Structures are given as structure tokens and as C-alpha cells.
């Protein structure tokens, strides 16, 4: 009997928090003005006379493949909004809370949808929804309820969604610019896209294909599964076909395995990986010499140590952290939400509808120099609004995040001429 | 031909890791009639322990130390979670091992952190020439260590008192008990050996590419290996592991060229296809014991 009581007790301890019963997700009923907006101050308010706007975060915080990026992204956004609150909040009447409704998606679309449903009635908008397939799992609900969300991903599909406030060029543009950059820097005659399935990998592969066709290069498409031990086929394809340029769209460990083993097998072509293929920890891996010799990273934004007012503010707000460009991305992604919230409060309609209307009027956003202002265009049609400038970095073990810029913000001829009439990954 | 042989050696190297894991599965199964799903967590624990120890002791000392450490963990798991379930249906105990796997992985993940951890192996992606063949040194190292461990293990079962006790208990637990053999000790020893082997497998799985939280997935490839070889055959586990490694490597190298209609990543499912084919032809595996049901 005693054992049974212990078992029942243990089961309740597991189940009740899962149901949100003893997690502290108490409904902040008093003074609710709109979903996620209260007249009461935020739990850790700087000025207790101001109301509170709650923003949710659904990110890969523990065991998913992008946790090494997602945790710094989330921490940077907490620091970003703390800085906003200290500086007077939004319109002098509200502060922003991004710490109460933070959930882990484990980079699993089903988990993402589940935890999003837990918090969606308690937040005005999402400060972060990490991942392309995960965000796609909640996109229908975001659109139905008019919930604005800042994505932590760069798929071209977001250019066509009103509720998504993306910052920086998408993977498709990034790959186009990478191929065009390589045409100047490395003069390739053949391109291979090695990529994960889905709208992360396939988006970049489609961009590489479009740029290869425009530049008259032969193109090969190699889809590879995630996991460092699963890259045997990708490595075989590279070493057999010997393309002059490989556009990589994988996780960092996969990228290191592919570059390291291909180089060990005598491959001397060039690799350009999209932003998420890099992690400073790769400098300690056996692939480091090959990465230094053959790999460059394309990126939608400048790295941690760039000298812009936004980068400086970020570094001041995050003292003592190990530099990581997850912080840089997370910080930069928060500017459009701030601009939209300010416009919403100024317009007087503090609601989801008011926020969406404010987003649709944004033609530029002040990123404090981290991105050009036109990167925050959500008012024009997708083809006009799509931001098309990217950066190319090289591996540099003296740089704080292991990379330094070799080509600053620029747009290649392919991306400049391309007409965005739908998500790129559908055209692969 | 050169490419084929190189692909086979790569497959044998990776297959060695699967073989060590498969041996652990089979040893526990023979002793307890339970398939332990905790092997992935023990493998991960081994790789992570090596990554922490190698900085201090060097890779060569870290591997046996980590293996002993994980063997101790496996002993503890057996004593705390498995032994109290003796006499319960094997299905129930198997489900408990699933829970053990999750718990151990959660703990081990805390020692991994968010970045990839390197195990500090001396090979990296370095290669060596074997006549006309060029192969990675780490694959040869995996193969050599696995061969040595398998030889030691077979000698242990053949020539030692404890090995004999384990064989007797595997054959008939009640008779073994009647002859004064401690079946509980046999259970414990089987878990410790499985933990030791899984840890070595984990260390080698981390060579070159490092260990991350998702590395445990590799251990699932030992499941088709034990089905192919036969659930209760030690030799079958080794053969099954090597077969799975070679089949996977050959599909990675040649399927795109000769059977592109199978899709881009058929190599990922190839071990399971081999498993299904073997199950259709020999339901008890290539070397498994044919069970006779008397009704």
C-alpha cells in the first residue's frame, strides 16, 4: 500500500506540472487589456506604474540540434528587452516581459505546437519561434489569431507571411550570394548543394541551384540526413564528383564531419556553409585545419565583435558571456518587434490586431547599425520587401566567435535579379 | 575495386562500434532474457566520460577508465532498477530499461552541454596507406580494439569460472541455482560487461566527429545487428554488427550510382532492410538458436 501511495504521488508530481497546475502559470487576470497585455506591472518591472506586454518564446533550449545557438538567442533577447525597459519601455506606458512564457520545443514540431498552445492565450506575440519546420507547425494558428511572431530561422517562406517579422536575408538569398561571391573569389565551374531535408536545407539548395543556372555552372543536389555519423554518402558524393564549390546547409557537427573527411580524402574544392553550419567549438575539432583551409560561412548579419551601436549595446548588456553569434542574431531579431510595439502603442490600439496593423506599416527598422534599415520592410509586397544582402566570413581562431568578415553586406547579381514569387524550397 | 575495398574497411570500422553494442545487448539478453534498451545511454556516458578524462589522462588511459566507470554505473542500475524486478515478465523489465535509458541520458546530457565534445583521440581524420588502399586510421583502430575485446570476451566465457557460471545460467537458470551459482551475480556481471563494451563503443563513436546529445542514436543500429546475428549468439552479434556497418557503407558509396530510384538516403534504412530480409529467411537470425515450442 505504501509503495502504491509513493507511485501515485510520484505520478501526480510528474503530471500536475505538465498540466500547468503547479508551474506558476497563473492567469494574470487583473487589468487584462488584451491577450498578453495587462495594466499591472511586469513581474520584474523597472517602473511599477507601467503596464506589461507579455511576449512568448518557443525555442530549442535543451536537447535539439540547435540548442547551442538557441540558448544564446534567448538570453540575448532577455537582455535586449531589459535594456528597452530600463530606457523607459514602450511608449512610456508599457514594459515588456519575455521571461515568463519561455518554452522548450526540443526542435520537434509536435512539441513546438503543444507548448505554443500552452502559452498562446497569455501572450500578445511571440518574441521568438525557433526553427522553420517547427514554426510551420503553428503558422496556421498564428494567422488565424493574428499573432505576430519573430522567427529564429531564415526560410524564404517567411517573406510571404504577414504575421512573421523576419530579419536578415533568407537562406535562398544567402546561397545565391554565396555562389555569386564564389564566382569572384574562387571561379568554380561546378556547384554541389549538400543539405538537410526541409525548408532549411532545401531553401538554400534551391538558391544555389538558381545561382548555378544563372552563372552557367553544373549543379548537383545531395540531400543528407542529420547526424555526424550519417554523412558517409555526402562525403562519397563530394569526393567522387569533386565539385569546385559545395554549398552546405546542415548542423555544425555535420558540416565539420563533411569538410574534415572530404579534405582528408584529398578534396580541395571550396565549402561555403550557411549561418547555422558554424559553431566556434568546431575550432577544437579534428576538422579545424580543413575548415580553416576550405570553408567559409555565409551569414545574414555581422558577427559578435562588429563595431556598430547595436553590437556595442549587446556586448554591454551581456557582460562575461562566451561570445557566440546566437547572441548577435537574437539581439538583432528583436528590433522589428520593438518598432512594431512602439507603433502599436502610439496608434492607440494595444491588441493583436493593432500590432499586426503596425507591422504592416513598417518600411524600415532602426537596427542600430546591425542590419541596414531596409531589412525591416514588412509593408511592401514580398518581392520588393525581401532583403537581399548577406555577408561572407572566414574562419579565424583569433576572432571571438571564430569568424571574421571577408565580404561585408552585399547583394550578388543573381539575388538582385531574382523575382520572389513563392518560397524557394518549393522550386528545388 | 579500390573504392569497394575502402568502403568495406570503413564499414568494418563503423560496424565494430555496432558489434560492441550488439554484444552488450546479447550478453544481457542471454543472462536475463531481457533486451536492455539502456545501451544507448551507457554508450553516450562512455563517450562523454572519455571526453572529460582525456584532457587529464590522455585518450588511451581515458578509454579503460571510462569503461570501468560506466561498468560501475551499469552495475548500480542493475542493482537498483533491474534486480528488484526479477521474476516479473521480461516485457516489463524491458520497459524499465527504456526508462533507465532516458534518466541516464538526461544526466549525461548535463555533462555534454550544448556544444560538441571532442574525445581527444589521436587519429582525427588522419589516413594511412594499405598498399593501394587509403583508409582512415580510426577505422583500423576500431577494428583492432573490437577484435581484441571480442577475443578476451570469448576467452573469459570459455576459460574462467565466472564465464562458465554465466554460460550455465544462460542455459538454465534453475539448474544453475541448484548447482550453487549465484544467478544474481551473473545478472550483475552481464550488465557490467555490457556497460564496459558500450562505453568503449561510445569512445570510438566520438572519434573524429565528437560527442553531442544526439550521438546516442547510433546505438539503435545495434538492434538490426542483433536480429541479423541472432538474439542469443555472441558470435552472431559480432557478425551482425559488422554486416550492418558494411551494408550501410556500401549503400552510402554505391546506391546513388546503381540504384538512384531508391531515393537519396537509402543507406539510413539499409540496416533495417537487411534485418527484414534475414527475419523472412531465418526468423532466429543467422546464428540464433531455433526455439522449439511444445504444445
What is the number of alpha carbons within 13 Å of residue A241 lying toward its C-beta? Answer: 25
Record: contact A284-B134, CB cut-off 8 A: no
Query: Same domain for A341 and A412?
Result: no
**Could you report the per-residue pLDDT of A95-115, keeping only the tens digit for each?**
999 999 999 998 899 999 999
Classify residue A416: in a domain, yes or no: yes
Classify residue A50: in a domain, yes or no: yes
Query: Same domain for A188 and A227?
Result: yes
* Structure confidence at residue A198 as a pLDDT band (50, 70, 90): confident
Round to whole Å and give the CA distance between A77 and A332. Answer: 9
Query: Same domain for A317 and A217?
Result: no
The dihedral through the CA atoms of A354, A360, A363, A366 has a sign that is positive
Which residues have a Cβ under 8 Å from the Cβ of A414 and sit 6 or more positions away? A176, A177, A179, A180, A210, A211, A214, A215
**Could you report the per-residue pLDDT of A317-344, keeping only the tens digit for each?**
999 998 989 999 999 999 999 999 999 9
Q: How far is CA B232 from CA B23, B192, B251, in A?
A: 10, 18, 28
> Does A17 score more than 70 pLDDT?
no
Query: Same domain for A277 and A423?
Result: yes
Q: Give the residue from chain B lying closest to A66, CA to CA.
A: B114
Q: Which residues of B touch A252 (CB under 8 A)?
A: 116
Classify residue A341: in a domain, yes or no: yes
- Segment among A23-37, A401-415, B91-105, B188-202 with least mean pLDDT: A23-37
CA distance A99 to chain B (A): 21
Q: Which among B126, B213, B218 has CB closest to A63?
A: B213
Q: Any CB–CB contact under 8 A between A71 and chain B?
A: yes
Mean per-residue pLDDT over chain A, rounded: 90
Query: What's residue B36's pLDDT?
Result: 92
Query: Same domain for A364 and A403?
Result: no
Mean pLDDT for each consecutive 10-residue tract of chain B (295 residues)?
90 96 94 92 97 95 97 95 86 93 92 86 91 92 96 94 90 86 91 97 93 89 93 93 95 88 88 93 87 70
Residue of B13, B14, B109, B209 to mutate, interface with A, max A Cβ within 10 Å? B209
Q: Is A7 exposed, middle or buried (0-12, 13-18, 19+ CB in 10 A)?
A: exposed
Q: Quick count: other Cβ atoms within 10 Å of Cβ A332?
A: 26
Classify residue A395: in a domain, yes or no: yes
Residue A306 near residue A300 (C-beta atoms within 8 A) = no
Record: contact B214-A63, CB cut-off 8 A: yes
The dihedral through the CA atoms of A124, A67, B221, A254 has a sign that is positive
pTM given for the model? 0.85
pLDDT above 70 coverage of chain A, percent: 92
Residue A106 near residue A63 (C-beta atoms within 8 A) = yes
Round to whole Å and give the CA distance between B291 and B39. Answer: 25
Average pLDDT value for residue range A199-226: 95
Q: Which residues of B touch A257 (CB under 8 A)?
A: 208-209
Q: Any CB–CB contact under 8 A between A261 and chain B?
A: yes
Residue A328 near residue A76 (C-beta atoms within 8 A) = yes
Query: What's residue B293's pLDDT?
Result: 67
Query: Same domain for A40 and A141?
Result: yes
Q: Any CB–CB contact under 8 A between A11 and chain B?
A: no
Query: Same domain for A137 and A260?
Result: no
DSSP string of A348-408? T--SHHHHHHHHTT-S----TTSS-GGGG--SS-HHHH----EEEEEE-TTSTTSEEEEEE
> Does A9 score more than 70 pLDDT?
no
Query: Same domain for A185 and A277?
Result: yes
Residue of B125, B222, B249, B258 to mutate, interface with A, max A Cβ within 10 Å? B125
Q: How far is CA B164 from CA A97, A192, B83, in A?
A: 66, 57, 21
Q: Is A100 exposed, middle or buried (0-12, 13-18, 19+ CB in 10 A)?
A: buried
Round to whole Å and give the CA distance between A366 and A373. Answer: 5
Q: Which residues of A touch B123 (CB under 8 A)?
A: 286
Domain span including residue A421: 171-301+389-427
> Does A3 score more than 70 pLDDT?
no
Q: What is the CATH number of the domain that holds A404?
A: 3.40.50.2300
Query: What's residue A362's pLDDT?
Result: 96
Query: Same domain for A206 and A232?
Result: yes
* Strands (E) located in chain B: 127-130, 133-136
Record: contact B10-A232, CB cut-off 8 A: yes
**What is the tally of structural domains in chain A?**
2
Strand A245-249 with A190-195, pairing:
parallel
Classify residue A147: in a domain, yes or no: yes
Round to whole Å and give the CA distance between B266 and A15. Answer: 40
Classify residue A142: in a domain, yes or no: yes
**Could you report the per-residue pLDDT of A251-293, keeping only the tens digit for each?**
888 999 999 999 998 999 999 999 989 988 899 899 999 999 9
Round to whole Å and give the CA distance between A310 and A104. Answer: 27
Classify residue A205: in a domain, yes or no: yes
Query: Same domain for A264 and A406?
Result: yes
> Does A309 score more than 70 pLDDT?
yes
Q: Give the residue from chain B lying closest to A236, CA to CA.
A: B253
* Structure confidence at residue A4 as a pLDDT band (50, 70, 90): very low
Residue of B11, B108, B116, B124 to mutate, interface with A, max A Cβ within 10 Å? B116
Residue of A59, A231, A280, A281 to mutate, interface with B, max B Cβ within 10 Å? A281
Query: What's residue B171's pLDDT?
Result: 84
Query: What's residue A31's pLDDT?
Result: 61
Q: Any CB–CB contact under 8 A between A402 and chain B?
A: no
Classify residue A180: in a domain, yes or no: yes
Query: Same domain for A364 and A346?
Result: yes
Q: Any CB–CB contact under 8 A between B126 and chain A?
A: yes
Single out the residue of A218, A175, A403 nearest to residue A304, CA to CA.
Answer: A403
Query: Same domain for A185 and A254?
Result: yes
Amino acid at each position: 500500500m505504501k509503495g502504491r501511495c509513493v507511485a501515485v504521488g510520484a505520478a501526480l508530481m510528474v503530471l500536475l506540472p505538465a498540466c500547468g497546475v503547479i508551474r506558476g502559470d497563473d492567469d494574470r487576470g487583473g487589468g487584462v487589456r488584451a491577450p498578453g497585455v495587462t495594466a499591472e506591472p511586469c513581474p520584474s518591472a523597472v517602473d511599477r506604474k507601467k503596464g506589461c506586454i507579455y511576449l512568448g518564446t518557443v525555442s530549442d533550449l535543451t536537447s535539439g540540434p540547435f540548442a547551442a545557438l538557441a540558448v544564446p538567442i534567448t538570453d540575448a533577447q532577455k537582455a535586449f528587452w531589459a535594456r528597452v525597459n530600463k530606457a523607459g519601455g514602450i511608449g512610456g506606458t508599457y514594459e515588456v516581459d519575455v521571461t515568463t512564457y519561455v518554452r522548450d520545443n526540443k526542435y520537434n514540431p509536435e512539441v513546438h505546437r503543444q507548448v505554443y498552445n500552452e502559452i498562446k492565450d497569455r501572450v500578445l506575440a511571440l518574441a521568438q519561434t525557433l526553427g522553420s519546420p517547427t514554426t510551420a507547425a503553428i503558422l496556421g494558428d498564428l494567422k488565424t489569431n493574428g499573432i505576430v511572431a519573430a522567427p529564429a530561422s531564415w526560410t524564404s517562406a517567411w517573406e510571404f507571411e504577414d504575421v512573421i517579422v523576419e530579419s536578415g536575408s533568407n537562406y535562398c538569398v544567402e546561397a545565391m550570394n554565396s555562389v555569386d561571391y564564389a564566382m569572384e573569389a574562387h571561379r568554380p565551374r561546378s556547384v554541389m548543394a549538400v543539405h538537410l531535408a526541409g525548408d532549411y536545407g532545401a531553401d538554400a539548395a534551391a538558391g544555389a541551384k538558381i545561382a548555378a543556372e544563372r552563372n552557367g555552372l553544373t549543379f548537383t543536389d545531395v540531400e543528407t540526413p542529420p547526424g555526424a555519423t550519417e554523412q558517409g554518402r555526402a562525403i562519397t558524393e563530394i569526393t567522387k564528383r569533386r565539385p569546385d564549390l559545395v554549398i552546405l546547409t546542415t548542423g555544425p557537427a555535420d558540416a565539420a564531419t563533411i569538410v574534415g573527411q572530404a579534405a582528408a580524402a584529398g578534396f580541395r574544392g571550396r565549402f561555403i556553409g550557411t549561418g547555422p553550419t558554424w559553431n566556434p567549438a568546431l575550432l577544437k575539432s579534428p576538422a579545424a585545419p580543413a575548415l580553416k583551409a576550405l570553408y567559409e560561412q555565409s551569414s545574414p548579419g555581422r558577427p559578435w565583435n562588429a563595431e556598430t551601436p547595436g553590437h556595442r549595446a549587446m556586448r554591454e548588456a551581456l557582460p562575461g558571456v562566451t561570445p557566440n553569434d546566437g547572441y548577435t542574431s537574437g539581439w538583432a531579431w528583436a528590433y522589428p518587434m520593438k518598432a512594431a510595439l512602439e507603433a502599436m502603442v502610439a496608434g492607440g490600439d494595444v491588441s493583436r490586431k493593432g500590432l499586426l496593423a503596425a507591422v504592416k506599416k513598417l518600411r524600415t527598422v532602426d537596427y542600430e547599425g546591425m542590419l541596414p534599415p531596409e531589412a525591416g520592410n514588412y509593408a511592401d509586397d514580398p518581392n520588393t520587401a525581401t532583403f537581399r544582402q548577406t555577408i561572407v566570413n572566414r574562419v579565424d581562431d583569433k576572432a571571438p566567435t571564430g569568424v571574421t568578415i571577408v565580404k561585408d553586406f552585399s547583394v550578388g547579381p543573381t539575388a538582385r535579379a531574382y523575382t520572389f514569387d513563392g518560397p524557394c524550397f518549393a522550386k528545388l | 575495386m579500390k573504392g569497394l575495398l575502402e568502403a568495406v574497411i570503413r564499414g568494418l570500422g563503423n560496424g565494430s562500434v555496432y558489434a560492441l553494442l550488439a554484444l552488450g545487448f546479447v550478453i544481457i539478453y542471454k543472462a536475463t532474457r531481457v533486451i536492455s534498451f539502456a545501451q544507448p545511454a551507457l554508450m553516450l556516458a562512455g563517450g562523454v566520460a572519455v571526453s572529460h578524462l582525456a584532457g587529464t589522462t590522455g585518450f588511451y588511459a581515458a578509454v579503460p577508465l571510462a569503461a570501468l566507470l560506466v561498468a560501475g554505473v551499469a552495475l548500480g542500475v542493475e542493482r537498483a532498477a533491474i534486480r528488484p524486478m526479477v521474476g516479473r515478465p521480461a516485457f516489463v523489465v524491458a520497459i524499465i530499461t527504456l526508462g533507465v535509458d532516458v534518466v541516464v541520458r538526461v544526466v549525461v546530457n548535463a555533462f555534454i552541454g550544448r556544444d560538441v565534445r571532442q574525445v581527444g583521440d589521436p587519429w582525427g581524420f588522419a589516413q594511412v596507406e594499405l598498399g593501394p588502399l587509403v583508409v582512415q586510421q580510426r577505422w583500423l583502430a576500431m577494428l583492432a580494439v573490437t577484435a581484441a575485446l571480442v577475443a578476451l570476451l570469448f576467452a573469459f566465457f570459455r576459460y574462467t569460472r565466472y564465464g562458465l557460471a554465466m554460460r550455465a545460467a544462460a542455459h538454465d537458470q534453475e539448474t544453475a541455482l541448484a548447482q550453487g551459482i549465484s544467478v544474481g551475480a551473473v545478472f550483475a556481471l552481464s550488465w557490467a560487461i555490457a556497460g564496459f563494451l558500450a562505453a568503449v563503443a561510445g569512445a570510438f563513436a566520438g572519434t573524429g566527429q565528437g560527442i553531442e546529445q544526439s550521438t546516442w542514436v547510433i546505438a539503435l543500429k545495434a538492434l538490426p545487428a542483433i536480429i541479423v546475428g541472432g538474439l542469443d549468439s555472441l558470435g552472431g552479434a559480432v557478425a551482425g554488427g559488422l554486416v550492418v556497418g558494411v551494408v550501410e557503407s556500401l549503400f552510402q558509396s554505391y546506391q546513388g550510382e546503381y540504384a538512384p530510384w531508391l531515393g537519396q538516403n537509402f543507406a539510413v534504412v539499409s540496416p533495417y532492410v537487411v534485418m527484414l530480409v534475414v527475419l523472412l529467411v531465418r526468423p532466429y537470425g543467422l546464428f540464433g538458436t531455433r526455439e522449439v515450442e511444445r504444445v
